[in-house]
Structure formats: C-alpha cells, structure tokens
Chain A
Amino acid sequence: MKPAPFEYHAPETAAEAATLLGELGDGAKVLAGGQSLVPMLALRLAVFEHLVDIGRVAELQGIERRDDALWIGAGTTQARIEASDEVASAVPLLTKVTPFIGHFQIRNRGTVGGSIAHADPAAEYPAVALALDATMHVTSSKGGRTIAARDFFDGLWTTTMEADDLLVGASFPIWSGRRGFAVEEFARRHGDFAIAGATIGVELDDADRIGRCAIGLIGLGSTPERAEAAEAELVGRPIADMEPDDVGRLAMAGLRSVPDDLHGSAEFRTRVGAAMVARAWRTASTEAGRG
C-alpha cells in the first residue's frame, strides 16, 4: 500500500457528495476515475484525509443535448465519449481529441470531469473546453452555479472552484454549418503528455470567409491557452487568404508563460506549437471547405 491512509466516502447522489465536501472541508478530495489522482497519492505528492468517490453517482454520468449545447456528466468516462455517436455529431472536436488522452486502459477509467477539474495545462479536455467556450456546472452545499471556461482555469492544476465545490458536468456549444475540427500534438511517445499541441475549430460563411474560429493550445502555458488575438485577426478573412504557417505564427504571439524544462525549451515548444497549429488549421479548414 503506497498511498497514505484516508477515509473513504461513496455518496450516491450529487447533493450527498456536495454536503460531504462542505462538511469535510480542505482535507477532502473528489475521486473520479483516479487516473491522475491515484498516481499522485501513490507517490505521496498529494495526501488527503478523505476521498469522496463519485463513481457511484448515476446523475453525474451521461451525454445529452440541452438546447444548443451538449451536456456531458462529469463522471462520464473518456472511453464512452470516444465511442459516442452523439458526441461525434454534436462536438466532433471532443471525438477527435479523446484518442490523444493517455492509453485506452486509462480512458476506460478517466473521466471528462476529472480531466477538467485537474486542469493540467498539457491535457486535452481543458484546452477543448477553453477553445469551445464550454460552461462548467458546479454544485456545493450552498447551491449550484455555472462557470465559463475562460473564468475556470486559474493556474497550474488550479481552478476557480472552491474546495467544497463539485464539478457536475460540462456543456459544450454545438457548432452547425460549414465547420471543420482538427487536433495535432507532438509527444515523444504516443500517449505521453504533449510537448505542444493545438485543438482547432473553424466555421465558414457562405462566401468562404472565416465566420468563427477557436484555437486551443496544449502545453504552452501554466493553464490551457487560447489564441484569442489570432482568432480576432482571422474572423472575417477569406479562408483562401490564410497560409497555415502564418496562422501558426499568429497563434504563438502573446504567450507569456511557455514551459521551459528538460523536455524542451520555451523557444522549442513555441516552434513546435506553431507547427501544430499550422497542421491542425490546414486539416480543419479543408474539412470546413468540404461542408
């Protein structure tokens, strides 16, 4: 047994889980799929007196259309998202990004809520949530509320949720019309965290101009990043005028905290990031053009 001892709680409803988190305070942590938390416990990088296992809370599971968005319960596994026809038609970027998460054995346990709440800047779902303007649904013993993705990711492994908050689900806006999506990552081995990556959505208007675009960046900051200045620059331009390499360069402008470590210097990561954006842009805009 490697983790330090903890008290185990297995609530059956979200309300019960929220009450427990309210009562137990800072010493408690939510256990979802455990694919990030359990390694941290095993290495004793994290120690908690209480784990609140949400794996048996049925209302946290599921995928359904709600108005113009696709709601996915926080406890829904990555494997289920990967295999879902509903996700593939409503939010194709999620379907495309999921195979990049770990390995299939990890995706069998890992959850969308766990990934978003863990807020690793090199993880896939946080970058997609940010790029697509997803809305996080949060509950606590004080009641429920929503947090926009742009207000959610606060720093390395840190979100604006309070210690007694439970992430219930995330709503991803559904794009219609002539749209294209693509993901590119560079990692030393498949399944490793990426050195840099890009998740891109493009929507074209009737005149082949860029009606909307979303550029989420992986591994290029202390939080997932979004190339907002580049997006603003691109919207309204004819798609044919945009060279993918230029889009890549544009997307790297304004990044302030690119990691610089033994896996790669900040300069190297920025060059890789520009190349990933360029490749993903080419694929996404071609797909949109066919739509």
Chain B
Amino acid sequence: MGEVPVHLTVNGRRREETVEPRLTLADFLRDRCHLTGTHLGCEHGVCGACTVLVDGAAVRSCLMFAVQADGADVTTIEGVASPDGDLSTVQAAFRDCHGLQCGFCTPGFVMSVTAFLRDNPRPTDEQIREALSGTLCRCTGYQGILKAVRQAADAGQRGERS
C-alpha cells in the first residue's frame, strides 16, 4: 500500500508531503503541519471539533483523507486571527460572551461560525441554533456560544473587522 504525494495550501503556506492514503486531513494538519489547534474528539464525524475550511467550506477534517484535499486551500483555527495576533470578530465574541470554557470544542465552533456568518450575515436566532447543532460542547450549555454568534453577527452588520 504505497504512499502518495499531496500538495495543498494551509493558512496561505504551501505544503508538499507524501502520505499514506488513510491519513485523515485532521491527522495531516496535526502531525505533519504541527497545527494542533484542530482538535480531534470523536474521529467519526459527530462532535465537530475538527472542523476546518476546505476551499472556504466548513468540513469535518476527520471525515476527509488528506489525499482528497490535494490541490485545496485549507484554513485552520491558526489562520483565523490576523498576522499581528488580533482576534477575529468571531474569536473576540467567543471571549467576550463566555462562549468557551475548557476550549476543546472551540476551534470547531469558530471555524463553523466563521463560514456560517460569511454565508448568512443576518441570521435569525433559529438559524444560529441550527448552524451550531453540528458541534458539541460539554461545558458551556451553549448559551454563551449563542450570545457570541449574535454579537459577531451584529458586529459584522456594523461593518467591524471580521
């Protein structure tokens, strides 16, 4: 079972590696790129902690093999803040609203919410709940997360940096 080459862009940086086909994108990001902000919870597509953006679309990186991402542009949680370290609107809202506690699920939430608000800049509360339903948090009880998404959406509406 041979290894295969993959070429992809992660947070703006070109990566060329040779991988076993069974290596998931999540393991590729963590073990090959040393980007350990992408967390692995269930490793079978239920918890959402490993969510990253592949060509802009929020996907579960545990349900995708790195070879399937050949040629793709991947953004992880490490690529969300600005280069000088300023938090993104979504990250800042999570901090402000107590949208995280232990922080394990947070990278997945931030990636999903970043894509969701880009595509739905004026969401209803119901739409926010539905968008959050694919990611599990065992600490916060979700209320702080809901508040954070509302704050980030409202900040986006006022034209603040996202």
Contact = CB atoms under 8 A, between A and B. Distances in A.
B44 A104 contact: no
For chain B, what secondary structure do more than half of its interface residues adopt (helix, strand, loop), or is it mixed? mixed
Contact of A105 (B2, B22, B24, B59): B59
B68 A7 contact: no
Contacts of A42: 43-44, 62
Contacts of A7: 1-2, 21
A1 B68 contact: no
A123 to B, nearest CB: 15
Contacts of A79: 57
A96 B134 CA distance: 19
Interface residues of B, number: 30
Given A104-B116, A104-B134, A34 B22 contact: no
A78 B131 CA distance: 16
Contacts, number: 85
B160 interface: no
A204 B112 CA distance: 42
A62 B74 CA distance: 24
A232 interface: no
Interface string B81-112: 00000000000000000000000000000001
Given A42-B43, A42-B44, A103-B133, A1 B63 contact: no
9 contacts: A5-B20, A31-B68, A35-B45, A38-B24, A39-B45, A42-B43, A79-B57, A105-B51, A106-B45
Please name the 10 residue pairs, one residue from A and one from B, whose CB atoms are nearest each other, closest first: A103-B134, A8-B21, A39-B44, A108-B57, A5-B1, A38-B63, A3-B22, A190-B133, A42-B44, A105-B58
